[in-house]
Structure 1
Amino acid sequence: MEVAILDIKGKETGRKAKLSDKVFAIEPNEHAVYLDVKQYLANQRQGTHKAKERAEIKGSTRKIKKQKGTGTARAGSIKSPIFKGGGRVFGPRPRNYGFKLNKNLKRLARRSALSMKATDNAIMVIEDFNFDAPRTKNMIDVLKAIGIQDKKSLIVLGDSNKNVYLSSRNLKTTEVISSSELSTYKILHANNIVFIEGSLEGIESNLS
């Protein structure tokens, strides 16, 4: 498929970018997408939750009442989970929620997500640009020119560009990443994906 290349003023340059059918026009594998998004979200979890269990509670170890003759249930420790202030049964412990996925599945998931966006006409290509200095207004002007200033957008750079990145950092609805940081979750999370012209070759070589 072909997409018109725009300049930073939102006008067509007269050139078109050819998007590889192996990356942007495959039959989406929804299960692969699900697994890749699930892994991404699992990796965001800190897993530092902790509750004290019976053995970790400070308290007396004496038997709090005699075994028989009280007319109530037996009780041997004030640290028992049935008493207020006692330990929690099977409480949460620190753990790592991450799990492994093979590289081929992750590539398939990203190709599937990009194909979904291409089907929805949510992919744009803009020619390479740079700013003389970091300035949020410059990025806002570019977004207005291409008509996505009010939409959640993902801008994909070929190489890291400090001025462009810093110019977008204060914008809540826009995220700028390099092509190596592209993930299935970020693709699906954005309403529009804007590829800088120089990023396409690297993305297609990595995912095809």
Structure 2
Amino acid sequence: MEVAVLDINGKETGRKANLSDAVFAIEPNDHAVYLDVKQYLANQRQGTHKAKERAEIAGSTRKIKKQKGTGTARAGSIKNPLFKGGGRVFGPRPRSYAQKLNKNVKRLARKSALTLKAKSESIIVIEDFDFDAPKTKNFINVLKALGLDSKKSLFVLGDSNNNVYLSSRNLKTSEVLTSSELSTYKIVNANSIVVFEGALEGIESNLSK
């Protein structure tokens, strides 16, 4: 599959980039995409939630009223979960939500996500560029030139570029990462994928194994 290479102003350079069929034109596996996205979101959870149970509540241990003759249910402790301020029954405890997923499934999921983006013509290839200094305004100008100023976009770099990364950091709808950091969730979550020309080789080498 061939895609026109654009410059920083959104105009065609006259060159074509070849997107490997082994990465951008496979038979998509929706279930693999689901599993990888599910694992990514689960791994983001801190799992630090905690509620005090009956044994952890501070309070008197004396019997709060006599056993019989009150006309109400018997009660032995102010820390009873039925009372206000009492402990919680089977409350949440700190735990890990991390999930494991086979490397081959993760690789298949990323290729499937990229294929779906390629089919919907949501992948843009742009020639490598850099800024003289980190400046959000410069990055916004690039977004406007590509027609992505009102869409969620993901920029994929070949190598880390501090100026481009810092220029995009204040924008909620855009994210910049390198080809080695590419994940299925990031691909699916973006409306358009902007791939630097120098990142194509890294993406294909990582996913063609």
AA aligned opposite 1:113: A
Aligned to 2:78: 78
Q: CA–CA distance in 1 between the matches of 2:72 and 2:131? A: 78
Report the 3-state secondary structure (helix = DSSP H, G, I; strand = E; otherwise coil) of the residue aligned with 1:71.
coil
Q: CA–CA distance in 1 between the matches of 2:149 and 2:58? A: 57
Aligned to 2:14: 14
Equivalent positions of 1:20-35 (< 5 A) are 20-35=20-35
Q: CA–CA distance in 2 between the matches of 1:156 and 1:196? A: 6
Q: CA–CA distance in 1 between the matches of 2:69 and 2:167? A: 76
AA aligned opposite 1:155: F
Unaligned 5+ runs, structure 2: none
Shift of 1:59: 1.0
Q: Percent identity?
A: 81
Q: CA–CA distance in 2 between the matches of 1:126 and 1:50? A: 48
More displaced stretch, 49-58 vs 65-74: 65-74
Aligned to 1:149: 149
Report the 3-state secondary structure (helix = DSSP H, G, I; strand = E; otherwise coil) of the residue aligned with 1:134.
coil
Q: CA–CA distance in 2 between the matches of 1:174 and 1:84? A: 47
Aligned to 1:43: 43
Q: What TM-score do you get using the length of structure 1 for normalisation?
A: 0.96
AA aligned opposite 1:25: A
Aligned to 2:122: 122
Q: What TM-score do you get using the length of structure 2 for normalisation?
A: 0.96
**Matching of residue 91 in structure 1 with residue 96 in structure 2:** no
Shift of 1:26: 1.1
Aligned to 1:61: 61
Q: CA–CA distance in 1 between the matches of 2:52 and 2:116? A: 46
AA aligned opposite 2:150: D
* 1:92-123 deviation line (CA, Å, top 9, x unaligned): 11111111111111111111110110111000
Give the alignment's Cα RMSD to 1 decimal.
Answer: 1.1
AA aligned opposite 1:175: E
* 1:4-34 deviation line (CA, Å, top 9, x unaligned): 1111111111111111111111111111111
Aligned to 1:102: 102
Aligned residues: 208
Report the 3-state secondary structure (helix = DSSP H, G, I; strand = E; otherwise coil) of the residue aligned with 1:205.
helix
Q: CA–CA distance in 1 between the matches of 2:54 and 2:204? A: 55
AA aligned opposite 1:207: L
AA aligned opposite 1:2: E
Shift of 1:171: 1.7
Unaligned 5+ runs, structure 1: none
